Structures are given as C-alpha cells and as structure tokens.
C-alpha cells in the first residue's frame, strides 16, 4: 500500500528527488541552470513557494510550500517530467532520469525547518565536494547568509527567528549555525530523510541530537 501524502494549503515540505543511477548525473552548469529554471517555472504555475534548494550530482533537496490546494504532486510531477525530457534531449540519451517518485516530509515547526535549512545547505560539505556551504554554487545558501536584492527564492519564515532585528544579524547567525559540526551526519540523515514514527524512541532521540545546536 502506498504511503498517504499530506497535502493542502500552506503546508511546508522537505522534498527529495534522486537520479535513476545514483551516479554523477548533473555535472555541468547548464544541467543545474535548466533544473532551476524548470523548478521555478512549475512552482509559479501552481502557486508554490520555493524556500530552499540544493542540486547535488545525483539528487536534489527542496523546501517548498503549496498555497492553492493539493498542488505538490502537480509541481513535482510537472517538474520531474519536464526535467527528464530536457536532460535527455540535451544529452541525446533515453530512459528514466529519476529513480522513483519524489519523497516528501512535512515541516511542522520552526526547529524542524531550521534543521532542514542547515542540513540542505551542508549537503555539499558532507559529501566532500567543498569545504564550506558558500563554496557550492548550486544551493540557496547565499540568499540566507548574505544580502541579495530580489532573490529567486522566498526566505523561510523560521529563518527570521535567528539573530537580532537586522538582516546582517540574521545572516551572521545563520552563517554560524551552518558552521556547527557537532551533530552526526548519520543522525541528521536518519532524522530528516528517514521514515520514522514521531512517537518512537528513535525519533525522539534523534530530534534531541539534531535540534541541540539550534538557537530557538
């Protein structure tokens, strides 16, 4: 039996979509630029809000919310189909681009949202691709850590709980948060990507570990 998805208005999600091979599929700037163009196109079409993203060589992480009914499936189905067609055409190949249907988890509180922001932006660091989040060009990290006019994303509401009243203070607080390396990456992955029951002891233990460095 397939898992029932929680869908509706103003629900925030952490979404993961992986390539079919698990290998280095997205390798050039054009691949990443096209993915972002298509993502924002389908988000705009179905009134979804993009808060965060990272494009890795084999997968993507997103944070988004739906504003007009049960549109998450429409956004992701349209995006994944268009991305596959575009990729296959440009690379002159055939077959599935994505391994399976996207996975999503509901973000239901501020601490979870901040942990998810941090986890996504530290993906390239954890993978050994760069030394710091701002060294990876294909994430939304820079929109949270420094000043940008008219960024393509919407800053997540939970982000505004960090630091003081000014943008500079929040940006500094977020930079410090993403530097903290005391949380086991294995625990973060199990908590933020795993299929755990929220009333389980394992979930409660991991929540304590992952939430510990958060200032809220």
14-71 residue pLDDT tens: 999 998 776 778 889 999 999 999 999 999 999 999 999 999 998 999 999 998 767 8
Average pLDDT of 146-164?
A: 89
Most confident listed range (84-93, 115-124, 206-215): 115-124
Distance (Å, rounded) from C-alpha 33 to C-alpha 45? 18
Sequence-ordered list of residues with C-beta below 8 angstroms from that of 31, at least 6 positions apart, any chain: 25, 87
Question: Residue 76: how many CA atoms within 13 Å on its side-chain side?
Answer: 24
Sequence-ordered list of residues with C-beta below 8 angstroms from that of 146, at least 6 positions apart, any chain: 134, 171
191 Cα distance to chain centroid: 14
For residue 6, pLDDT beyond 60:
no
Q: Which residue has the higher pLDDT, 181 or 155?
A: 155
Least confident of 70-74, 94-98, 106-110, 113-117: 94-98
For residue 1, pLDDT beyond 70:
no
Q: How far apart are the first and last CA of the chain?
A: 38
Distance (Å, rounded) from C-alpha 4 to C-alpha 194? 16
Rg (CA), the chain: 17
Sequence-ordered list of residues with C-beta below 8 angstroms from that of 184, at least 6 positions apart, any chain: 209
Cβ burial, residue 42 (10 Å; 0-12/13-18/19+) = buried
So what's the pLDDT on residue 95? 78
For residue 168, pLDDT beyond 90:
yes
Distance (Å, rounded) from C-alpha 156 to C-alpha 168? 16
So what's the pLDDT on residue 17? 93
Q: Provide CATH code, domain 1-108.
A: 3.30.70.1290
Q: Which residue has the higher pLDDT, 180 or 6?
A: 180
Q: Which residue has the higher pLDDT, 208 or 55?
A: 55
Of the candidates 209, 76, 22, 53, the residue with the CA atom closest to the CA atom of residue 137: 53
So what's the pLDDT on residue 210? 72
For residue 7, pLDDT beyond 60:
no
Q: What percent of the chain has pLDDT over 90?
A: 53
User: Cβ–Cβ contacts within 10 Å for residue 81, how many?
Assistant: 14
Domain boundaries, the chain: 1-108, 109-216
Sequence-ordered list of residues with C-beta below 8 angstroms from that of 103, at least 6 positions apart, any chain: 15, 16, 17, 193
Q: Which residue has the higher pLDDT, 200 or 121?
A: 121
For residue 82, pLDDT beyond 90:
yes
Distance (Å, rounded) from C-alpha 66 to C-alpha 47? 7
For residue 198, pLDDT beyond 80:
no
């Amino acid at each position: 039996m397939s898992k029932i998805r929680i869908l509706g208005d103003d629900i925030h999600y952490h979404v993961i979509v992986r390539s079919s091979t698990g290998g280095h599929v997205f390798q050039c700037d054009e691949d990443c630029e096209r993915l972002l163009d298509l993502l924002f196109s389908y988000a705009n079409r179905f009134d979804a809000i993009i808060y965060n993203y990272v494009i890795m060589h084999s997968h993507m992480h997103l944070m988004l919310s739906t504003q007009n009914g049960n549109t998450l499936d429409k956004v992701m189905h349209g995006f994944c189909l268009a991305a596959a067609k575009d990729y296959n055409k440009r690379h002159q190949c055939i077959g599935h681009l994505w391994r399976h249907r996207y996975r999503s988890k509901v973000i239901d509180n501020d601490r979870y949202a901040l942990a998810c922001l941090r986890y996504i932006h530290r993906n390239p660091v954890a993978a050994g691709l760069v030394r710091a989040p701002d060294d990876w060009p294909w994430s939304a990290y820079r929109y949270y850590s420094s000043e940008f006019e008219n960024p393509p994303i919407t800053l997540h509401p939970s982000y505004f709980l960090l630091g003081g009243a000014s943008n500079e203070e929040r940006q500094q607080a977020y930079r410090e948060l993403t530097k903290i390396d005391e949380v086991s990456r294995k625990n973060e992955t199990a908590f933020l990507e795993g299929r755990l029951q929220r009333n389980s002891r394992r979930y409660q233990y991991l929540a304590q570990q992952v939430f510990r460095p958060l200032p809220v």
